[in-house]
């Protein structure tokens, strides 16, 4: 059954509040990256993928990251650092293709396209094992 708009907005607010607490309301790139990933997570997947249990476990994970600088905090910090690098690389790539019209050598291009495959797989496995929805 598809979630109502109230359930979606409540889930978004809970995740946003918990994620901002986890990053300690910083004004730097971590905040921008977290908000953009959260927005992407609610725009991209179909509404049929909505799972309140996964949302609750993700909020619990983020609250654990906010409570102490333990494992949850280190995982979140690493995720944000990697996501920031992905966004930065994508922006540089767009800028480079607009100015030069070329993307470089084939080997380098292919390497960059596959650079985050291992990370995406590890994140998918983490979500499956923990029952979270970090994207």
Residue 80 has a pLDDT of: 94
Residue 121 has a pLDDT of: 92
Report DSSP state, residue 54. H
Check residues 108 and 4 and name the one with the higher pLDDT. 4
Residue 25 has a pLDDT of: 92
Considering just the CA atoms, what is the radius of gyration of the chain in Å?
17
Residue 98 has a pLDDT of: 64
Q: Which helix (H) or strand (E) holds 76?
A: helix 71-100
The secondary structure of the chain in percent helix, strand, coil, rounded to multiples of 5, reads 75, 0, 25
């Amino acid at each position: 059954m598809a979630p109502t708009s109230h359930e979606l907005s409540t889930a978004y607010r809970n995740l946003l509040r918990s994620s901002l607490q986890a990053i300690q309301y910083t004004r730097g790139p971590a905040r921008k990256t977290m908000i953009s990933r959260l927005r992407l997570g609610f725009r991209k997947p179909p509404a049929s993928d909505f799972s309140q249990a996964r949302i609750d476990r993700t909020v619990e994970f983020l609250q654990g990251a906010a409570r102490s600088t333990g494992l949850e905090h280190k995982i979140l910090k690493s995720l944000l650092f990697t996501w920031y690098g992905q966004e930065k690389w994508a922006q540089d790539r767009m800028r480079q293709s607009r100015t030069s019209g070329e993307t470089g050598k084939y080997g380098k291009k292919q390497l960059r396209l596959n650079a985050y495959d291992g990370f995406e797989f590890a994140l998918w496995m983490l979500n499956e094992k923990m029952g979270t929805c970090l994207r």
